[in-house]
Amino acid sequence: MKKFFSFLFFLAIISCSKDPILYTLTTSTNPTEGGALLPSSAQFEEGETVVLNATPTEEYVFFSWAGVSGENSTTSIVMNSDKSVVALFVKKQYSLEISVEGEGEVTEKIIKAGSSTDYNSGTIVELSANPVSEWVFVEWKGDLSGSENPTQITINKPKKIIAVFQKKQYPLNIEIEGEGSVEETVIKPGVPNSYNSGTIVSIEAIPQNGWSFLKWSGDVSSLENPIEITVNISKNIKAEFFNPQDFTGLPILYVDTEGSEINSKEDYVEGSVSIIGSNDFPDLSSAEMKIKGRGNSTWWQGGIGRPDNMKKPFQIKFGDKTKVLNMPKDKKWVLLAEISDISLIRNKIVREIANMGSFDYVPQAEYTELFINNKHAGTYLIGQKVEESKNRVNIGDDGYLVEIDTDAHGRIEEDDVYFRSNVWSSHYKDGVFNIKEPSLDFDSEKFNLIKGHINSFEDALFGDNFKDPDIGYRSFIDLPSFIDWFLVNEISKNQDAASFSSIYFNYIPGEKIKMGPIWDFDLAFGNVNYSNAENPEGFWIKDNLWYKRMFEDPYFKQMVQERFDYYNNNLSLILSKISGFETYLSKSQKKNFELYPSLLDPNSEVWPVPARFDNHHGYVEYLKTWLDTRMEWLKTWL
């Protein structure tokens, strides 16, 4: 019985004690895939210490706790209330190290977000290799292989990547025309036949015996030999050689100044000349000479070519009188560049026309290929200079050679001796009479003689009795030369001959004044764009002060008309000669315009050419058509 009451007492005590207090611990991870946190969410009695353990997954690392303090992945918390704990994880980060071989750069484009230098594990980065100018991307090396560009990589560990660039390589193709070879010398290293971009190569053309180097063409245009070229693109270069005995059919004139430039009209340059006469002319062995520039508009216009080759006119002076291309011996010779006359024929055909006339002397000229210091300068006319000489203007020691000129535009030089006449120089304010021969002083006896004679001629020409054959103008002049000079210049409508320049006459005391020689016809036959001389219709020389007065004499007018019929009857012959010159120049003109392509570029202005064509034949046809139309007009109106 006693045991029974003791048991009841024990039950009473138990039933009177309190239940334990429980708190909820909520655990989670961020991000969810970043790792695990133990223990999982559960209830714990008040005061209980719970140990928390955060374990990251493979590509994450533990970062920190939220809801509990602690720096390590294991920490503890005392349950004295409901708790919420978050284990924070972050992606592992890896460095991406980029280096470059060669010249270029690599840009990084993040496909999935990450930092600019170190990338979260799993970040996808696009790499673009960008070469600098004249370099190319070749391949990736290091922790990335292949040559795909751009390419993508996944950052899952530290990576070192090398972008490999190399110089572009270009082939250098050499073609040979003629007989010769080309030697290549690398100034900066490259590989045979194909060269790294920027490689400098010296190429030298070596002609075979009996051949000569002409020029480089293709992707390089030059007359220099050897030359240095920079290989920065694929290049095709032709070395052109020629046989001097079979070049263009024209004789070849070589000027050698040992490299000295001919850049002055005042100062001669010493040198030598030799000629290969081809089939029609004798050769000339090397002869000493000196050379300088000449001309007026043609001198400044001669810069139309490349800096290494400009087509300028020249004057040659031999040490001794020398025969050139079957032309009589003399010392001074002129080289006409024919820049303005793209037909290359005007100065040649006008000599043919003048030779039909009654002139005592017509300057001779022959076509030639000119080479200066072994550089081809193109098609030239080499001819006789207008000067006193037994084989040229044969006026002896007492005769006068005078050019009617202008003292404007710097045409009169400091040492020129000239005068102004009473009538001409009053009408043409800049008009002067430049005494070319003989050499004399101002106001000397010889000076006053020629000045006085011209004034007397003008007095007779413009006097009341000018038609009188005994005391009028005809008593002073050689009528046939005046008529032929007028017709040659009026037929060609020579721009300058109306009153401006190149109006030559000669006079031997005791004899009559003779017009001539004829000179300077590159701006004739309609080859001018700034005056009415362009058109085949209309008079030109007839308006010249002297000739205008002479045409008031019916006798003079009748003589001119009769003489014109003579020239007109020879028109077919003149036109056929023009065609013959075109054929003769067929090879030469091609080489000439290869040197000076702008002359055949209709979009390139050439002073003062009025009509532009892209071929030589067009300029020849223009000349022939203009002349034919001109003669028809003169036949009607003269």
Residue 548 to residue 120: CA distance in whole angstroms = 102
C-alpha 333, offset from chain centre: 31
For residue range 550-602, list pLDDT tens digits in order: 999 999 999 999 999 999 999 999 999 999 999 999 999 999 999 999 999 99
Residue 638 to residue 564: CA distance in whole angstroms = 8
pLDDT given for residue 279 in this prediction = 84
Picking from 122, 137, 167, the residue at the C-terminal end of a domain is 167
For residue range 205-222, list pLDDT tens digits in order: 999 999 999 999 999 989
- On whether residue 13 sits in a domain, the answer given is no
pLDDT at 248 over 60: yes
Q: What is the pTM of this model?
A: 0.76
Structural domain that includes position 191:
169-242
C-alpha 92, offset from chain centre: 63
Picking from 107, 139, 167, the residue at the C-terminal end of a domain is 167
- On whether residue 267 sits in a domain, the answer given is yes
Task: Spell out the residues 6+ positions from residue 637 whose beta carbon is closer than 8 angstroms to its own.
Answer: 539
Query: What is the residue-wise DSSP string for 472-510?
Result: SGGGTB-HHHHHHHHHHHHHHT-TGGGTTS-EEEEE-TT
Q: Measuring CA to CA, which residue among 186, 260, 256, 254 is closest to residue 226?
A: 186
Q: Judge if 604 and 532 occupy the same domain.
A: yes
Strand partners, 375: 372
Task: Spell out the residues 6+ positions from residue 26 whose beta carbon is closer than 8 angstroms to its own.
Answer: 41, 82, 83, 84, 85
Q: Measuring CA to CA, which residue among 219, 262, 223 is closest to residue 242?
A: 223
Average pLDDT of the chain to the nearest whole number: 91
Q: Measuring CA to CA, which residue among 497, 472, 478 is closest to residue 486?
A: 497
Q: Judge if 528 and 433 occupy the same domain.
A: yes
Q: Judge if 484 and 593 occupy the same domain.
A: yes
Query: What is the residue-wise DSSP string for 120-185?
Result: ETTEEEEEEEEE-TTEEEEEEEES--B--SSEEEEESS-EEEEEEEEE-EEEEEEEEESSEEEEEE
pLDDT at 10 over 70: no
- Which of 171-175, 376-380, 424-428, 619-623 comes out lowest in average pLDDT? 171-175
Residue 329 to residue 332: CA distance in whole angstroms = 9
Q: Judge if 624 and 595 occupy the same domain.
A: yes
- On whether residue 4 sits in a domain, the answer given is no
- On whether residue 295 sits in a domain, the answer given is yes
Residue 119: band (very low, low, confident or very high) from pLDDT cuts 50, 70, 90: confident
Q: Judge if 504 and 632 occupy the same domain.
A: yes
pLDDT given for residue 112 in this prediction = 54
Residue 116: band (very low, low, confident or very high) from pLDDT cuts 50, 70, 90: very low
Name the residue with tokens 């430049």: 434
Q: Judge if 29 and 141 occupy the same domain.
A: no
pLDDT given for residue 411 in this prediction = 84
- On whether residue 15 sits in a domain, the answer given is no
Residue 79 to residue 520: CA distance in whole angstroms = 121
pLDDT at 343 over 50: yes
- Which of 186-195, 308-317, 389-398, 514-523 comes out lowest in average pLDDT? 186-195
Helix (H) or strand (E) holding 379: strand 375-384
Domains identified in the chain, total number: 4
For residue range 409-426, list pLDDT tens digits in order: 778 888 999 999 999 999
Residue 165 to residue 131: CA distance in whole angstroms = 7
> 94 near 159, Cβ under 8 Å?
yes
- On whether residue 354 sits in a domain, the answer given is yes
Residue 246 to residue 251: CA distance in whole angstroms = 10
Q: Judge if 178 and 258 occupy the same domain.
A: no
Mean pLDDT of all residues in 302-317? 74
Picking from 142, 167, 192, the residue at the C-terminal end of a domain is 167
Q: Judge if 62 and 138 occupy the same domain.
A: no
- On whether residue 38 sits in a domain, the answer given is yes
Task: Spell out the residues 6+ positions from residue 538 whose beta carbon is closer than 8 angstroms to its own.
Answer: 532, 633
Mean pLDDT of all residues in 605-614? 95
pLDDT given for residue 35 in this prediction = 93
Q: Judge if 161 and 293 occupy the same domain.
A: no
For residue range 444-483, list pLDDT tens digits in order: 999 999 999 999 999 999 999 999 999 999 999 999 999 9
- On whether residue 514 sits in a domain, the answer given is yes
For residue range 51-97, list pLDDT tens digits in order: 999 999 988 999 999 999 998 999 999 999 999 999 998 988 877 78
Mean pLDDT of all residues in 337-344? 96
Q: Judge if 390 and 460 occupy the same domain.
A: yes
Give first-to-last CA distance, the chain, whole Å.
Answer: 177
Q: Judge if 237 and 261 occupy the same domain.
A: no
Q: Judge if 340 and 413 occupy the same domain.
A: yes
